Amino acid sequence: MRVSKALPLTERKQISLPLFSMPVNAGSQGHADDYVDEMLDLSKFLVKRPASTFFVRVEGESMIDAAIHPGDLLVVDRSVEPRHRDIVIAIVDGEFTVKSLYKKPNLRLVSHNRNKPTEIDEPFEVWGVVLWVLHKAR
């Protein structure tokens, strides 16, 4: 799975949208309540460190079993120290890729596609840690 063009956070335009105080019930039917608790700027919610954060769009299906699909937008922070099993953006042979970082028993990148499992243990550089995955519901 490759990631396409990185989208920088150079110009930050604030757009605040309503955040309803009542959570959405995913089980039985809940009560409809139109009470807006606050206005939410999604960029402030998703981006804690703008200077080290960027967006990338996903191409390919190597992370499909980790709920990362083609066309998804990833929020990546370069200042976060990668831990074992974090999903990261890495550079392998000069190309960006998104994989899970495994540190035990040896350092490697692992895909999450049961139909095409991949492990990369050749030299790579971790470029950043994926903090959020955004995709359309349909």
pLDDT single digits (tens) 1-57: 455 555 555 455 666 656 666 566 666 655 554 556 677 778 888 888 988 999 999
pLDDT: which is higher, 16 or 104: 104
Q: Which two tokens stand for residue 54?
A: 């960027």
User: Domain range holding 114?
Assistant: 2-8+46-134
Residue in the structure block whose two tokens are 């095409």: 116
- Residue, of 119 and 138, whose pLDDT is higher: 119
Residue 90 and residue 22 share a domain: no
Task: Find the catalytic residue in 99, 103, 104, 136.
Answer: 99
Q: Based on the fold, state whether residues 65 and 128 are members of the same structural domain.
A: yes
Is 99 considered catalytic here?
yes
- Tell me if the pTM is above 0.85: no
How many domains, in total, are found in the chain?
A: 2
84 and 21 belong to one structural domain: no
Catalytic residue among 44, 62, 104, 111: 62
The domain that holds 83 is classified in CATH as 2.10.109.10
Pairing of strands 119-120, 125-134: unpaired
79 is catalytic: no
* Domain co-membership, 99 together with 119: yes
Same domain for 50 and 75, yes or no, is: yes
